[in-house]
Amino acid sequence: AQSVTQLDSHVSVSEGTPVLLRCNYSSSYSPSLFWYVQHPNKGLQLLLKYTSAATLVKGINGFEAEFKKSETSFHLTKPSAHMSDAAEYFCVVREGNAGNMLTFGGGTRLMVKP
């Protein structure tokens, strides 16, 4: 069975400082991992995905994530936060033998202070 744990329900940073959103996963098989962003009253948007290629994945808007199998982690980072980054972020795992369905983490709300 697959599962995802987002370690922080809320993260608050100042504009221009680094962002770290933590995610740990559990999977019986080699998983694919994703980060999605959801702005208020907007649909889910894919930020980046890991599908067993390079372990450091670059996404849109300056975000990146590193797949660490030994730590079962897929943390999302950005060097410098922007006000427009304030949103809800979801870490997602997909296991091939689970019908390819996505399992979402509980979400992390990122707040960016001026």
Partner 1 sequence: EAGVAQSPRYKIIEKRQSVAFWCNPISGHATLYWYQQILGQGPKLLIQFQNNGVVDDSQLPKDRFSAERLKGVDSTLKIQPAKLEDSAVYLCASSLDSHRGPAGFFGPGTRLTVL
**Shortest approach of partner 1 to residue 86 CB, angstroms?**
16
Looking at the Cβ atoms of 70 and 100, the one nearer to partner 1 is 100
Could you give the CA distance from residue 73 to residue 6 in angstroms, rounded to a whole number? 10
**Shortest approach of partner 1 to residue 92 CB, angstroms?**
8
Specify the amino acid at residue 41: N
* DSSP H/E element including 92: strand 87-94
| Beta carbons of 24 and 7 less than 8 angstroms apart | yes
The residues facing 64 across adjacent strands are: 58, 77
Confirm or reject binding of residue 28 to partner 1 (CB under 8 A).
Answer: no
Could you give the CA distance from residue 92 to residue 78 in angstroms, rounded to a whole number? 18
Binding to partner 1 (CB under 8 A): which residues in 81-100?
90, 92, 94, 96, 99-100
Binding to partner 1 (CB under 8 A): which residues in 36-75?
36, 42-46, 49
**Shortest approach of partner 1 to residue 15 CB, angstroms?**
25
Interface residues toward partner 1, by CB under 8 A: 4, 32, 34, 36, 42-46, 49, 90, 92, 94, 96, 99-107
